[in-house]
Chains A and B, each alone.
Chain A
């Protein structure tokens, strides 16, 4: 069974329909990439998966999103619990203006998942998972904003992992980073794939081709095509997809 199953999802901002009839199965321990031009709704779709759109006035959603078979769009659902299960990494690195340690410990502290004396081990494990431990082990008490942008983004991933989520949503996680830092994040994604279900939104088609197992192509609020990444990039079934990936549209 798919980890996340999206069924006939419609999304509206006020009277404007942003997503139309989207159905998608996302497997556990796989990377699903969502590509498409700016404003095609791929980020909005991603934010449906952890209900971050709830914070926007006038947003309305129809359809079903099942996480392990449970409909996360149900009004009775505990949204904070959902967001602890489905972590998110944002477009620009957004560590809190607090110490490196406090950043990683933030989630476990508010969710009360660990005793205070267990936190150092958890913080270390989370930082090791993103390959940041050796770089920052002597700077745990320093302000996180002193790190480089690439390090900040890996710190944000570590912060999300410290909550011990089941899935990770990444919204153009490399768009603010230089090529070297981008490669490091992509490398990291390949290792995280062993444990998590990952959905990444990217405007960078090479990135989607490099890291993902499956790719979905969004166009004007619809999902035109979804297939194994290799197949979608070599034998697209729709002309829209072909035009987009060959650079003739979008």
Chain B
């Protein structure tokens, strides 16, 4: 009897352990593959070529600056748009909206996160791009700004949802304390609730940046994909090309094992490192908070 139980326990334990380790194992394997395919690029391409401003793989010019700056421009603009909107929406849903409205809004916002990015890209191409071209008198509607707008919209649901959860976790006693000292509702929200939820709100921002940086389909469809250097602010309203879009557009046509192929993988490593750094930057605040009880 007891032997049978011990045997069962062993089997179940082993299965769970294998499942757990295999997940980690796959991540490590993927990362190893990425390194193996990408790192040779460092030997094959001179550093000054990499840091150059011209991306013409057909002429062996692999300047990544336009791609890097393109990603940066689109991501930063998207976050600058999404951040105020996302935080105010979360504040509205949690602190201002009546109970019934909150019960409708919260799930609705979460459903928005499920819209496939290709659908949003399609919307961007057919509705937003022509609209921007006409209202702003641009040569083309497929610009960094168009991409940033759609990316901001894509990042919003996650940001709102996570920020709202963070606000919801702020104890009522904090609000009571502020109100009892003569604070108005807005003072209570901006000086107590939002600062108390700052860790969660920071997490929301990081998730938003991660989403915007890693998104491929939308930027491929609406940013115009011209690998030019975005040097001035006006570049916001001109086509750019991001790192993700470059990989997606060119990987299908490149010969496996070629220099170009290795460079594309190397861009993948860079993306991975960037996302990792962003998460790392947010980690200390989040960990400190967790140790003290509850992610707020």
Interface of A toward B, CB cutoff 8 Å: 50, 52, 55, 80-84, 87-88, 90, 92, 94-98, 106-107, 109-111, 145, 156, 159-160, 163
Q: Which residue of B lies closest to A78 (CB)?
A: B182
Q: Mask for B17-31, Cβ within 8 A of A = 1, else 0?
A: 000000000000000
Q: Which 8 A-B pairs have the closest CB atoms?
A: A84-B182, A94-B173, A88-B180, A83-B182, A107-B181, A80-B182, A94-B177, A110-B187
A92-B173, A106-B191, A110-B191 known; A83-B180 Cβ under 8 A: yes
Compute how far the CA of A161 lies from the CA of B192 in the bound complex, rounded to whole angstroms.
Answer: 19
Q: Mask for B271-296, Cβ within 8 A of A = 1, else 0?
A: 00000000000000000000010001
Compute how far the CA of A160 lies from the CA of B182 in the bound complex, rounded to whole angstroms.
Answer: 10
Compute how far the CA of A119 lies from the CA of B170 in the bound complex, rounded to whole angstroms.
Answer: 27
Q: Is B135 an interface residue (CB 8 A)?
A: no
Q: Among A55, A92, A97, A110, which residue has its beta carbon within 8 angstroms of that of B181?
A: A110
> What is the minimal beta-carbon distance from B171 to any residue of chain A, in angstroms?
7
Q: Is B72 an interface residue (CB 8 A)?
A: no
Q: Which residue of A lies closest to B192 (CB)?
A: A96
A96-B196, A97-B196, A106-B191 known; A111-B182 Cβ under 8 A: yes
Besides A80-B183, A159-B181, 6 other CB < 8 A contacts? A84-B181, A94-B174, A96-B174, A109-B191, A145-B292, A159-B177
A96-B192, A110-B191, A145-B292 known; A83-B181 Cβ under 8 A: yes
Q: Is B195 an interface residue (CB 8 A)?
A: yes
> What is the minimal beta-carbon distance from A152 to any residue of chain B, in angstroms?
11
* B-chain residues with CB within 8 Å of residue A52 when the two chains form the complex: 176, 179-180
Q: Is B258 an interface residue (CB 8 A)?
A: no
Q: Is chain A's interface secondary structure helix, strand, loop, or mixed overall?
A: helix
* B-chain residues with CB within 8 Å of residue A111 when the two chains form the complex: 181-182
* A-chain residues with CB within 8 Å of residue B35 when the two chains form the complex: none
* B-chain residues with CB within 8 Å of residue A156 when the two chains form the complex: 177
* A-chain residues with CB within 8 Å of residue B187 when the two chains form the complex: 110
Contact of A107 with B192 in the complex, beta carbons under 8 Å = no
Contact of A160 with B176 in the complex, beta carbons under 8 Å = no
28 residue pairs from A and B, CB less than 8 Å apart: A50-B180, A55-B179, A80-B182, A80-B183, A81-B182, A83-B179, A83-B180, A87-B180, A90-B177, A90-B180, A94-B176, A94-B177, A96-B192, A96-B195, A96-B196, A97-B195, A97-B196, A97-B296, A106-B178, A106-B191, A107-B182, A107-B183, A109-B191, A111-B181, A111-B182, A156-B177, A160-B181, A163-B181
Interface of B toward A, CB cutoff 8 Å: 171, 173-174, 176-184, 187, 191-192, 195-196, 292, 296
> What is the minimal beta-carbon distance from B33 to any residue of chain A, in angstroms?
44
* A-chain residues with CB within 8 Å of residue B182 when the two chains form the complex: 80-84, 107, 110-111, 163
A80-B184, A96-B192, A110-B187 known; A90-B173 Cβ under 8 A: yes
* B-chain residues with CB within 8 Å of residue A82 when the two chains form the complex: 182
Compute how far the CA of A156 lies from the CA of B177 in the bound complex, rounded to whole angstroms.
Answer: 9
A97-B196, A98-B195, A145-B292 known; A110-B176 Cβ under 8 A: no
Contact of B181 with A106 in the complex, beta carbons under 8 Å = yes
Compute how far the CA of A159 lies from the CA of B174 in the bound complex, rounded to whole angstroms.
Answer: 13
Q: Which residue of A lies closest to B171 (CB)?
A: A94
* B-chain residues with CB within 8 Å of residue A145 when the two chains form the complex: 292
**Most A CB within 10 A of own CB, among B181, B195, B292, B296:** B181
> What is the minimal beta-carbon distance from A172 to any residue of chain B, in angstroms?
13
Q: Which residue of A lies closest to B180 (CB)?
A: A88
* B-chain residues with CB within 8 Å of residue A163 when the two chains form the complex: 181-182
Q: Which residue of B lies closest to A54 (CB)?
A: B179
* B-chain residues with CB within 8 Å of residue A50 when the two chains form the complex: 180
> What is the minimal beta-carbon distance from B289 to any residue of chain A, in angstroms?
9
Contact of B183 with A110 in the complex, beta carbons under 8 Å = yes
Compute how far the CA of A95 lies from the CA of B181 in the bound complex, rounded to whole angstroms.
Answer: 12
Contact of A87 with B181 in the complex, beta carbons under 8 Å = yes
* B-chain residues with CB within 8 Å of residue A160 when the two chains form the complex: 180-181
> What is the minimal beta-carbon distance from A83 to any residue of chain B, in angstroms?
4
> What is the minimal beta-carbon distance from A143 to any residue of chain B, in angstroms?
8
> What is the minimal beta-carbon distance from A151 to any residue of chain B, in angstroms?
16
* A-chain residues with CB within 8 Å of residue B183 when the two chains form the complex: 80, 107, 110
Compute how far the CA of A95 lies from the CA of B195 in the bound complex, rounded to whole angstroms.
Answer: 13
Compute how far the CA of A88 lies from the CA of B174 in the bound complex, rounded to whole angstroms.
Answer: 13
Compute how far the CA of A95 lies from the CA of B176 in the bound complex, rounded to whole angstroms.
Answer: 11
Q: Which residue of B lies closest to A98 (CB)?
A: B195
* B-chain residues with CB within 8 Å of residue A98 when the two chains form the complex: 195
Q: Which residue of B lies closest to A83 (CB)?
A: B182
> What is the minimal beta-carbon distance from A146 to any residue of chain B, in angstroms?
9
